[in-house]
């Protein structure tokens, strides 16, 4: 029997996060050991509530640990214009079961889970990288038991928070710099993949009929402003989980990545040196293209398991 991949999800739910978390929770290939929350789409209090609401909705027992309430240096600016004031507008989840919520801070919980694990742990980072950076700075000893950090963030082209800054990286570029310089195996699923990882109306209709789960997701899609219901909703965070479960949908390349942390014009811009101009060794595997048909088939079949 295949051993499940041990996974920590660091997240800022967030409607696209919610879908990605659901897919991970119901995957037979992943063992979600911990969900940590970080300020991003909305406040850390709200994203923590949302993580608990999701687990209650799906009746899943996974420890949740609340993390950083603001970026390391930059002023915190949320994305409630995209996800709504609650961060998961569109569906009434009701009061969550708070027994999943740990007293521990996310960084301490991540350290404990990683050091206690007999096999290396993978981190799926689908929000700003603040918690991950704090973890690596406070507890560098965890590096030897982290298999890979698979992050949704950055861009090979332009941004969606600023001209050149993708939201997760541009929210906390200093944290991203710490992660990019860490020497840990990195997989970057950037904005460019999310722009092609679309849920079209015909897909939403297939999802809508999937019982309680379909009703919830379809309702969230009505409020989600990452793209549009008619022309395609961008499933950014599912791109990170898609790498874990169906990497063959991607074109991948090993290259050097870095992040701008000083220019006011391009703060948070990810430098993806595909042509090797900088002459630096590769520090990440980057998704450079996605097979959209494969994504669509994988996405629908994954959602069908979330019941
Ligand atoms: O740029 C997209 C990313 O920012 C996604 O993780 C989305 O949830 C938001 O956090
Ligand atoms: Ca997110």
The minimum-distance atom of ligand 1 relative to the CA of 160 is 1
Calculate how far, in angstroms, residue 12's C-alpha sits from the geometric centre of ligand 2: 5
Q: Please choose from 9, 150, 152, 243 the residue to mutate so as to test ligand 1's pocket, defined by most ligand atoms within 8 A of CB.
A: 152
Is the Cβ atom of 12 under 6 angstroms away from ligand 1?
yes
Average pLDDT over residues 50-59: 98
Calculate how far, in angstroms, residue 2's C-alpha sits from the geometric centre of ligand 2: 29
Q: Which ligand is nearest to the CA of 170?
A: 1
Query: Are residues 124 and 7 in contact, defined by beta-carbon separation less than 8 angstroms?
Result: yes
Is the Cβ atom of 192 under 6 angstroms away from ligand 1?
no
Structure confidence by residue, pLDDT tens digits, 276-300: 999 999 999 999 999 999 999 999 9
Structure confidence by residue, pLDDT tens digits, 189-226: 999 999 999 999 999 999 999 999 999 999 999 999 99
Helices (H), the chain: 15-26, 44-57, 80-83, 106-116, 130-138, 167-171, 173-180, 191-194, 201-208, 211-223, 238-245, 292-304
Is the Cβ atom of 84 under 6 angstroms away from ligand 1?
no
What is the rounded distance in angstroms from the CA atom of residue 102 to the CA atom of residue 64?
A: 6
Calculate how far, in angstroms, residue 263's C-alpha sits from the geometric centre of ligand 1: 22
The minimum-distance atom of ligand 1 relative to the CA of 166 is 1
Structure confidence by residue, pLDDT tens digits, 95-108: 999 999 999 999 99
The minimum-distance atom of ligand 1 relative to the CA of 13 is 8
Is the Cβ atom of 11 under 6 angstroms away from ligand 1?
no
Residue 173 has pLDDT above 70, yes or no: yes
Is the Cβ atom of 78 under 6 angstroms away from ligand 1?
no
Tell me, what's the pLDDT at 18? 98
The minimum-distance atom of ligand 1 relative to the CA of 194 is 2
What share of the chain in percent tops pLDDT 70?
Answer: 100
Is the Cβ atom of 224 under 6 angstroms away from ligand 1?
no
- The pLDDT confidence band at residue 243, using thresholds 50, 70 and 90, is very high
Tell me, what's the pLDDT at 3? 87
The residues placing their C-beta within 5 Å of ligand 2, an ion, are 12, 14, 17, 126-127, 237
Is the Cβ atom of 167 under 6 angstroms away from ligand 1?
yes
Average pLDDT over residues 160-178: 98
Q: Which ligand is nearest to the CA of 166?
A: 1
User: Whose CA is closest to atom 1 on ligand 1?
Assistant: 167
Calculate how far, in angstroms, residue 154's C-alpha sits from the geometric centre of ligand 1: 10
Residue 2 has pLDDT above 80, yes or no: no
Is the Cβ atom of 57 under 6 angstroms away from ligand 1?
no
| Contacts with 164 (C-beta within 8 Å, 6 or more apart), sequence order | 155, 158, 260, 265, 266, 268, 269
Calculate how far, in angstroms, residue 22's C-alpha sits from the geometric centre of ligand 2: 13
Tell me, what's the pLDDT at 1? 61
DSSP letter at 92 equals -
Q: Retrieve residue 129's tokens.
A: 């990288």
First to last CA, the chain: 23
pTM: 0.98
DSSP letter at 101 equals B
């Amino acid at each position: 029997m295949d051993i499940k991949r041990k996974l920590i999800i660091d997240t800022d739910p967030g409607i696209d996060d919610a879908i990605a978390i659901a897919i991970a929770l119901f995957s037979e290939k992943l063992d979600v050991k911990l969900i940590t929350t970080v300020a991003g789409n909305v406040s850390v209090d709200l994203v923590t509530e949302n993580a608990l609401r999701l687990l209650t909705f799906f009746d899943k027992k996974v420890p949740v640990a609340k993390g950083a309430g603001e970026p390391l240096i930059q002023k915190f600016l949320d994305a409630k214009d995209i996800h709504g004031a609650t961060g998961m507008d569109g569906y009434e989840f009701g009061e969550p079961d708070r027994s999943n919520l740990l007293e521990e801070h996310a960084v301490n919980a991540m350290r404990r889970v990683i050091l206690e694990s007999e096999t290396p742990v993978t981190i799926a980072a689908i929000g700003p990288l603040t918690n991950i950076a704090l973890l690596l700075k406070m507890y560098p000893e965890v590096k030897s038991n982290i298999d890979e950090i698979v992050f949704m963030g950055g861009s090979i082209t332009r941004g969606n928070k600023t001209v050149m800054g993708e939201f997760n990286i541009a929210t906390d570029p200093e944290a991203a710099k710490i992660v990019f310089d860490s020497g840990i195996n990195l997989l970057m699923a950037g904005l460019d993949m999310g722009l092609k990882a679309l849920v079209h109306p015909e897909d939403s209709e297939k999802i809508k009929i999937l019982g309680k789960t379909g009703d919830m997701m379809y309702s969230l899609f009505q409020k989600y402003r990452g793209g549009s219901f008619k022309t395609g909703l961008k499933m950014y965070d599912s791109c990170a989980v898609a790498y874990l479960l169906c990497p063959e949908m991607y074109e991948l390349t090993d290259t050097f990545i870095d992040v701008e942390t000083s220019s006011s014009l391009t703060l948070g811009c990810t430098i993806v040196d595909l042509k090797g101009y900088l002459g630096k060794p590769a520090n990440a595997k980057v998704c450079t293209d996605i097979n959209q048909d494969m994504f669509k088939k994988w996405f629908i079949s994954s959602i069908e398991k979330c019941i």
